[in-house]
Amino acid sequence: MTATDMASLAAEDEIVIEAVDADEARRLLPDLGALLHACVHDGASIGFVLPFSSANAESWWRTKVLPALVQDRLALFVARIDGMIIGTAQLDCDTPANQPHRTELRKMLVHPTFRRRGIARRLLAAAEGEARRRGRRLITLDTRTGDMAEPLYASAGFATAGVVPFYCLDPFDPDKVDSTTIMYKRVDAIG
């Protein structure tokens, strides 16, 4: 589906957020790769720099995410409209022995065409629910300082722990180094 086709989907189309297991993620590799590729090419600072091919994107899902899903060290959520993947979020539960109460939100992505529709908030809510279900009471994350995601996280109750300067390369300009903001949120575990 082209960007024009995606943009033409009506606002009232139902957005579905669901957890995805390793088998389903394996089937979705081309779609997950396409989403990651689109976000990186739109300037998302999520660990990649240009040039970044579709093959690189799909390979990342296959080598970094699938093994963690198989071992239940990670929860993966997808957002869909009409079956098409338009967003994802990961909850990394692979923490050291002294941090069984903590989890990390990683790679929350929304396709550039579908931003500002509440999809990221819904993905975040699903991740928080999973953290509670797993008995995790603290969610941490990092985001590029000044990025559009930073106010979203703050409005969802995340507090800033600090800013790390010179943290990562800008995806478009390897001579530019960006800072990252480390954030956290306490959540109550279920039960």
Q: What is the extent of the structural domain holding 43?
A: 3-136
pLDDT of residue 24: 97
Torsion of CA 27, 41, 78, 181, to 10 degrees: 140
Count of domains for the chain: 1
What's the mean pLDDT when you consider all of the chain? 93
Classify residue 94: in a domain, yes or no.
Answer: yes
Provide the β-strand partners of residue 183.
141, 160
- In which band, very low, low, confident or very high, does the pLDDT at 188 lie, cut at 50, 70 and 90? confident
DSSP for 64-122 reads: IIHHHHHTTSEEEEEEEETTEEEEEEEEE----TT-TTEEEEEEEEE-GGG-SSSHHHH
Classify residue 170: in a domain, yes or no.
Answer: no
Classify residue 180: in a domain, yes or no.
Answer: no
Q: What is the pLDDT of residues 116-154, one digit of tens each?
A: 999 999 999 999 999 999 999 999 999 999 999 999 999
pLDDT of residue 13: 67
Classify residue 168: in a domain, yes or no.
Answer: no
Q: What is the pLDDT of residues 154-167, one digit of tens each?
A: 999 999 999 999 99
pLDDT of residue 10: 43
Q: What is the CATH number of the domain that holds 99?
A: 3.40.630.30
Classify residue 35: in a domain, yes or no.
Answer: yes
Q: What is the pLDDT of residues 64-78, one digit of tens each?
A: 999 999 999 999 999
Peptide bond into 67 cis (omega under 30): no
Classify residue 162: in a domain, yes or no.
Answer: no
Whole-number Å distance between alpha carbons of 86 and 35: 7
Classify residue 186: in a domain, yes or no.
Answer: no
Classify residue 147: in a domain, yes or no.
Answer: no
CA angle, residues 131, 133, 136, in degrees to nearest 5: 40
